[in-house]
Structure formats: structure tokens, C-alpha cells
């Protein structure tokens, strides 16, 4: 957690520092990100930085915390009435929220992506271990509920599909960011609906009913 000195700063200066830091961590993974570059870009002295933060990790964890809150704001509406909709609708809403988050906060999304990629870094191990299983542990009960409701096949390996659903979420977001014009909301929804339909019915030719 940053020191009190940091929170005593005028809000605009605080935000400027955070913005600079976000840019740095979006451009370089944690280990490559440079405190020197951050202070130079933010126009503050090296010594000041260490009056605001314990160290590089302190700043990084603080940013992750802010990011987590922002992302939660996007996901919460989708999770409001978990019993209201069927599993695949819920999944679609969550994927859509994730995509929208990445569109609105591309730098946050980039940091998250890089973090996921460097999850075996020992210095970040505690953060990862604390938050990584979250995604899978989150989907597992949803899957079980969906099975009991008769929405999802009962013969699936829940652990594996929790893992894959979380992983696919990442890649769906990435695909949209890299390939879909973010201004065309309909295209995004069309592609997403198609993908959710695939999750439900597969990509094989449908059996004649």
C-alpha cells in the first residue's frame, strides 16, 4: 500500500503518476518495467517516488487493486441476478463485460494480460496465487448449478471446463481487441453470440431434430 505522503498529494498529481505508471506496466511486464522511466515520464524525482511507495511492487499491487475494482464494476451487473438467466446467457454477459472493459480500459487489459503471462514470477507469486484460482473457482459452482438445472451436459469434467471457460474468456477478449472494430457494437455482439452458441451446441453440423 502506498504511503500516506502519496495520498496527501493533490489528486491531479496522484492521477498523473498512476497514469504514467499504468502506461509503463502496459508497455513492459513487471520485471522489465522501470521505476526510472516512470519518474522521468511523470516528472518527479526518484527520491519522491520512494516517499510515495515502498518499492516497485508496492506501486504495482496498488494499480492491480484499482484495476480489480474497475473490472468488478463491469462484471457486477452481469452477476446481479445469477438465477435469472440460463448459464449461457450469463456467460455471454460476462464475456461481453470483459470485452467492454478491455475496450474502455485498454491499458488495464494489457497489464492484466501481461500479468497472466508472467504468472510464474516468484516476486508476484503471492498476488497470482491469491487471485488466479479465483477465475476457475468462480466458474465451477456455476457449472455445477447449470448441470443440475439441465442446461449443461452432466458428463463433463467440471474442473477442466472451468479452466477452459476462463482461458477462452481471455482469448475471446483478445480476439475482439485485435480484430474487431470497437466502434461497431453489433459486430462484437454478433461474433460473441456466435461463440456462445458454439459453446452450447458445438461447431459440428447439427443433428436433424
Partner DNA sequence: CTAAAATATGACCGGTTGGTCACATGACTG
Partner DNA sequence: CAGTCATGTGACCAACCGGTCATATTTTAG
Q: Which residues lie near DNA (CB under 7 A)?
A: 4-5, 8-9, 33-37, 44-48, 50-52, 55-57
**Residue 202 interacts with, from a second copy, DNA, none (CB under 5-8 Å by kind):** a second copy
Q: Measured at the alpha carbon of residue 103, what is the angle toward residues 132 and 10, in degrees to the nearest 5? A: 85
**Binding mask 170-209 vs a second copy (x if CB under 8 A, - otherwise)?**
-xx-xx---x-----------x--xx--xxxxxxxxxxxx
DSSP secondary structure letter of residue 35:
H
**Cβ distance to DNA smaller for residue 5 or 194:** 5
- Of residues 23 through 52, those in contact with a second copy by CB under 8 A are 29, 31-32
CA distance 147 to 156: 9
Q: What is the DSSP letter of 205?
A: P
- Of these partners, DNA, a second copy, none, which one is at the site of residue 209 (CB under 5 to 8 Å by kind)? a second copy
| Grid cell for residue 200 | 452450447
Closest contact distance (angstroms) between CB of 123 and DNA is 9
Tell me which of a second copy, DNA, none is bound by residue 172, counting a contact when its beta carbon lies within the kind-specific cut-off of 5 to 8 angstroms.
a second copy
- Cα angle, residue 92 at apex, residues 138 and 102 outer, rounded to 5°: 80
Cβ–Cβ under 8 Å, residues 102 and 172:
no
Task: Give the residue from 156, 159, 65, 145 showing the smallest Cα distance to 112.
Answer: 65
Q: How near is the Cβ of 172 to DNA at its closest, in Å?
A: 32
Asked whether position 168 contacts a second copy by CB under 8 A, the answer is yes
Largest Cα–Cα distance in the chain?
71
Are 1 and 58 within 8 A, CB to CB?
A: yes
Binding site for a second copy (CB under 8 A): 29, 31-32, 88, 114, 117-118, 150-153, 155-157, 159-161, 163-164, 167-168, 171-172, 174-175, 179, 191, 194-195, 198-209
Amino acid at each position: 500500500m502506498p504511503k500516506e505522503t502519496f495520498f496527501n498529494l493533490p489528486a491531479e498529481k496522484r492521477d498523473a503518476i498512476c497514469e504514467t505508471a499504468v502506461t509503463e506496466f502496459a508497455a513492459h511486464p513487471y520485471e522489465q518495467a522501470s521505476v526510472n522511466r516512470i519518474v522521468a515520464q511523470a516528472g518527479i524525482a526518484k527520491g519522491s517516488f520512494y516517499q510515495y511507495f515502498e518499492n516497485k511492487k508496492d506501486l504495482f499491487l496498488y494499480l492491480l487493486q484499482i484495476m480489480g475494482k474497475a473490472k468488478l464494476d463491469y462484471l457486477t451487473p452481469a452477476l446481479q441476478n445469477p438465477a435469472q438467466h440460463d448459464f449461457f446467457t450469463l456467460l455471454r454477459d460476462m464475456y461481453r463485460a470483459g470485452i467492454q472493459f478491455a475496450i474502455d480500459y485498454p491499458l488495464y487489459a494489457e497489464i492484466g494480460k501481461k500479468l497472466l503471462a508472467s504468472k510464474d514470477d516468484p516476486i508476484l507469486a503471492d498476488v497470482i496465487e491469491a487471485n488466479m484460482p479465483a477465475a476457475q473457482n468462480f466458474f465451477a459452482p456455476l457449472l455445477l448449478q447449470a448441470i443440475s438445472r439441465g442446461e449443461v451436459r452432466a458428463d463433463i469434467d467440471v474442473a477442466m471446463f472451468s479452466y477452459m471457460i476462463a482461458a477462452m474468456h481471455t482469448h475471446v477478449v483478445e480476439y475482439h481487441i485485435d480484430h474487431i472494430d470497437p466502434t461497431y457494437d453489433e459486430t462484437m455482439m454478433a461474433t460473441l453470440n456466435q461463440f456462445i452458441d458454439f459453446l452450447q451446441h458445438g461447431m459440428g453440423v447439427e443433428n436433424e431434430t
